[in-house]
Amino acid sequence: MPKKKIEYSPELDKLLEHLKNFNPTPLQDRQFKELKQEERSIYMAARKRKAKADRKKLFKMMKKNTFGRNKL
């Protein structure tokens, strides 16, 4: 039995699409406040996952730069 896809507001779709490619801006923060409570929680969870992934990527780059090359 196929899962039923849940439809969300176009505002949430636009915010999530922007979040995939960029960091949130003050404009997105204002738009976020206009969402329904359920959609706010979805957006915040996505923001949290993005922040975690960005941190992981940054630490990986830092580790590579710090320990990856030979020091003279």
Alpha-carbon gap, residue 30 to 54, rounded angstroms: 22
Q: Residue 32: how many CB atoms within 10 A of its CB?
A: 17
Question: What is the pTM assigned to this prediction?
Answer: 0.75
Domain extent listing, the chain: 10-67
What are the residue ranges in the chain where pLDDT is below 50?
A: none
pLDDT recorded at residue 8: 83
pLDDT recorded at residue 68: 63
